[in-house]
Structure formats: C-alpha cells, structure tokens
Amino acid sequence: MDIFDLFTLIGGLAFFLYGMNIMGNGLETLSGSKLQGILEKMTSSPLKGVLLGTIVTAIIQSSSATTVMVVGFVNSGIMQLTQAVGVIMGANIGTTATAWILSLTSLQGDSFLMQIVKPANFTPILAMIGVIMTMMTSTKNPNSHKKDIGLILIGFAILIFGMDLMSSAVEPLSESPEFANLMTMFTNPILGMLVGLGITAIIQSSSATSGILQALSTTGQMSYGAAMPIIMGTNIGTCVTALISSVGAKKNAKRAAFIHLYFNVIGSVLFMVVFYTLRMFITFGFETNAIDPTGIAIIHSLFNIATTAILLPFNKLLVKLAAKTVRDNEEEQTSEIQILDERLFATPTVAIERAREVTCDLAQVSAAALKRAIGMLSDYQEQDVEVIRKMEDQTDIYEDRLGTYLVHLSSLKLSNQGSHEISKMLHSISDFERIGDHSVNVLETAAEIHQKGVSFSVEGSGELQIVASAVMEIVDMTVSAFTQGDYSLAMKVEPLEQVIDKLCDQLKLRHIERLKKGNCTIEQGFIFTDLLTNYERVADHCSNIAGGMIQIHEDSYQVHEYLNQVKENSGDFAKEYELFKNKYSLN
C-alpha cells in the first residue's frame, strides 16, 4: 500500500461520511415532523420505546442523532426519563441498518440476480435518478418531497462509492504481513475496544466506524477475534456525542446521556467477560476465521439485540444509576422549565415541530386569557386577576423565546416547507402575544367596572355581549386554523373580522346617541369605547395571523395586498360575510 492508496483511503472515507450525511439529512427531512410524533408517543412500556427507537434510528441512520434528540426532549420536559431508556436501547439496534446495507457489497456470484443486488452495480442508476429528481423539482411547490428523495438516492450512491474507494485502497493490504500482524494485535480485547472507541469518538458515528471496519474486512486479513472488540468499542464511542450535547442541560437530560453510556459500557463489559471467560475453557473455532462485511453486520446486530434483551428488564436500575451519577439539588428543582432546546437543531425538522408545538401553546394561552378576561366583565372574581396576569406573562416569555429560537433555526439548512413553517410562526407569535396583552386591558376595564360599580343599560350590555361573542369566535377560529394548519378555516377569519369592525362602528354611534339622550354617562362612554377598541384590535390580530398563514402557504408575504383582494371578491368572502353579519345582527 503506497501513499496514493492512502490518499484514496482518505478520499473514500470523506465520500462515505459525506454520503451518509446527505442520506441522513434527506431521510430526516422526508420524515419531517413524524420523527417527533413517533418519539413523543412513548408509553410506560419500555418495549414499545425500543421498537420506536429502532425505527427512528433506522430512518435517520444515526443513533447519535436519535440520542441527542432524546436528550433535547427530556431537557424540554416533553419526554420522561423512564421513556427515554427504551428509545436509547432501540437506537443501538437501529444503527446497525447501515452495516446491513453495506454488507451487500460482499455478495458473491456471477448470476445476473447476484450482480444486480450489489450496491456498486445499481447505485449509478440511483444516482442518476436522484440528480434528475433534484434538478427537476419545482421551486413553486415547497411541499414536494421529490428533492428529498433525490438527495437520499444521491447520498446513498456517494456512500457506496466511498465504501468502494476504501475497499480498493486497502486491497493491497491483503498480501501485507505487517497488516496481518497489526490485525493480530487487535485480538487483545482491551486494545481493540480502545481503537473502536477512539475512532468512533473522533468521527462521532458508529455506523461510519463499522463501514471502515467492513472495508478492511474485504482484505481477508481481519479475523472475528480482532473485529469483535473493535465493534464493542464503537458502541461506547458513540456515547460521546450525547454526553457533549448534555453539557449545560438540565439534570434529567444529563441522566439520559449517562443511561446511553452505562447501557453500552455494561453491555460491552458483560459480553467481554462472558466471552473471554468461556474461551478459557472452550475453543471457539470461528475466532480465527476471516470476517467479511456480512459477519460484521451480524456481530453488531446480535450484540445490540442481546444487550437490549438482557438490560431491558433492568431499565429502572439504569435510571437509578444515572440519578446517583447526576444528583438532584435544590436549585434544579425550583428552576423554570425550559420550553425550547437548541440541541434539537441537530435535527431541524424536529426542532421546527417543537417550535410549532410551543407556538400552538402560546396561541391557546392567549385565547384562554382573553376569554377569562371577557368573563370577568359580567362575573368579576378577584382570584382570577392574578391568573390572567400570569397567563399574559407566560405569553411574553413564549414570544421572547420563540423569536430567538426561530431566528437561530432559520439560519440552518432547511427544506422549503421548513422555511415556510418558520416564516408562519415568526409572522404569528407577536400577534398572539398582543392578544394576551389585550386580555389584560379587558381585565383592567373589568376591574374598573367592579370597583366603581359601573353598569350599562340593558341595550348597551346586550350589544357588548354580541360583539364579545363574535370576538371569542374569531379567536377560536384563528387558533384552530393555526394549530391544525386548516387554511380553509383561515379563509373565514377575514369576513368575520370585517363584521366585527362594522359592529364596533355601529356600537360607537349607538352609544353616542344614548349619551345625547342622557341614557349613559361620559364615564360609561369611556369604558364602553375602550372595550370596543380592544375587541376591534383583537380581531385585527386574528386577521393578520390568518392572512399571513394563507399568504405564506401560497409562497407570498404580501398580507395586506391579499386582504384587499379578498375584500373585493364577491364570491366566498361575500357569502361568509353575510352569514356572520346575520349571526351577529344588532336588530
């Protein structure tokens, strides 16, 4: 093996890692928010956690990414530590999927069937299909997954190309006695584990280390005895990524990272102790046999499945061990819950989905605060005052954290659909927060009415009740449209907003008439007008949210232009407007 073979080996490794990255990103983007949905549907059943952890990791081709996601979920409080155990175990099983794909390169046979299933023979076709799909993807259709599928195919082809380059580069080693002696050194279990641990810790991918090992195995110089300790070491080395990601996280998130470490360390040590103890009494003939890529995939899978089967019944002990390593303290218990976690940026689609969930929480808290404040106008309850103010404070926190989080998230490499989701949230969060502010304004008006004993005429009270009902409906409609992504429902917001505007104008004129007749006082007039102003502005914010949703969905950002076009439309807009106008008629 000369210097040029070494260059080829390094280039092959670079292609391998790059292809794995492209393929993983494409798979992650294609699966989208389903990743978080799958991981969040954990129950108290550790077995279900193992199954779902296996599926997710097989999808994104990285146990490190899955574990970092779990650390982020635990840190954000959306997953319990006991739920995380099964997912972490399943991630170790799912990460062997890459090794099985690469094992196809070792298939032997001259038949057409055997030749066509070898990746080196069919990946050029996949690469061409991927390039065509990527180049022909329309930018006008942001929801199209053709580009993601194309990137997956291209990434897979690059990965296999890198694997072939590495195999070609190490081929001269098959006749090198020095290399054979080096492989013999790795039969020392401690040295083999350290090598596997070190390489995986550096490149932070057990799948990549297994790929390198599979390439070396094609020389025929690597035995089962040399490969097994290295495979054990890769499982421990992959824990480094999760441990690094847990730095600065909450206690439970750190515990999740340590559970990952303890699971792999205990499994590896247990395997080594049992195997090498038995070897003192039993001779294993296969240990000196040459291993091939399929053998590495089998060993890797059997080890992770066996370790999971043995340790799964003791999952609570792993949690206790992690709790003893990372102990509770008083400051941690009283600290504020972290609603968003930048660790999820490692998987942007999951981070976007988490941000969407928090934005939906903001929307619902704002709506609930406004409804409770409106209820205070007719039934003032002192204990609700602090509740409403705390809800409004919560909306401020949501807006501040979401704004920062989304701006950082938008700087990452995202799909068109992901960029549109972020734009929709950035456009909406300030309007939802302002609705929360208006709930405090209404609360203060209710407090003034209660303290001063102000009462409106029967006619005035009835009018306020009508417009309040319309406002509560438009808020409910807007929140539902946003949280459910219902664009047809969003189209109904603007007609109702126009009805509320006209209602407020009519009520102001009617109140002026009552003032002229002496049926209402100036003080009542100020309170009445303040309420109408707040109602009208709440409706405006709902209009902004719904209009922004529709325009961003249509790949445009000219909300006011859209609203003007809607008002001029004599079709659906006019129909909905008449329905709401009749529903909230003043008679």
- Are 237 and 198 in contact by the 8 Å Cβ rule? The answer is yes
pLDDT at 334: 38
Token readout for 547 is 């209009």
DSSP conformational letter for 498: H
Q: What is the pLDDT of residue 522?
A: 72
Half-sphere exposure of 232 (CA within 13 A, CB side): 27
- CB count within 10 Å of CB 510 equals 15
Q: So what's the pLDDT on residue 211? A: 82
Burial of 281 (0-12, 13-18, 19+ CB in 10 A): exposed
- Return the exposure string of 121-143: e unless at least 16 CB atoms fall within 10 Å of the residue's CB, then b: eebeebbeebeebbeebeeeebe
Question: Which DSSP symbol is given to 106?
Answer: G
CA nearest to 72, candidates 418, 340, 408, 325: 340
470, 556, 360, 388: CA torsion to nearest 10: -50
Protein fold of 347-583 = Methane Monooxygenase Hydroxylase; Chain G, domain 1 (1.20.58)
- Output Rg (C-alpha) for the chain, integer angstroms: 31
Write down the domain spans for the chain.
Answer: 3-327, 347-583
Can you tell me which residue has the tokens 């390039």? 131
Enumerate the β-bridge partners of residue 223: 290
Question: Which residue is listed with tokens 């995380």?
Answer: 84
Beta bridge partners of 290: 223
Among the listed residues 234, 179, 185, 240, the one whose alpha carbon sits nearest the alpha carbon of residue 210:
234
Q: What is the DSSP letter of 142?
A: T
**In this predicted structure, what is the pLDDT of residue 333?**
42
Task: State how far the Cα of 115 lies from the Cα of 275, in Å rounded to an integer.
Answer: 37
| Side-chain-side CA neighbours of residue 399 (13 Å) | 20
Quote the pLDDT of residue 567: 58
Q: CA–CA separation, 431 vs 356, rounded Å?
A: 15
Taking only the tens of pLDDT, the chain with its 587 residues reads 568 777 887 888 788 778 877 877 777 666 655 555 555 555 557 788 888 888 878 877 677 777 877 887 787 776 778 888 888 888 888 888 878 877 776 656 566 665 666 667 778 888 888 888 888 765 545 445 777 788 888 888 888 888 778 777 777 766 667 666 766 677 788 888 888 888 888 877 787 888 888 888 888 878 888 888 888 888 888 888 888 877 777 788 888 889 989 999 999 989 888 888 888 888 777 888 888 888 888 888 898 899 999 998 888 898 889 888 887 764 444 334 456 878 778 778 878 888 888 999 999 999 999 999 999 888 888 888 999 999 999 999 999 999 999 999 888 877 777 888 898 999 999 999 999 999 999 999 988 888 888 777 778 788 889 999 999 999 999 999 999 989 889 989 999 999 999 998 888 888 777 777 776 777 777 888 888 999 999 999 999 999 888 887 766 555 555 556 555 655 677 888 889 989 988 76
Tell which residue, 231, 241, 229, 232, has the closest CA to residue 201.
241
Q: How far apart are CA 487 and CA 60, in angstroms?
A: 31
Cα three-residue angle 5-6-11, rounded to 5 degrees = 95
Q: Burial letters for 377-389: b for 16+ Cβ neighbours within 10 Å, e otherwise? A: beeeeeebbeebe
Amino acid sitting at position 537: R
| Residue listed under structure tokens 């694997």 | 163
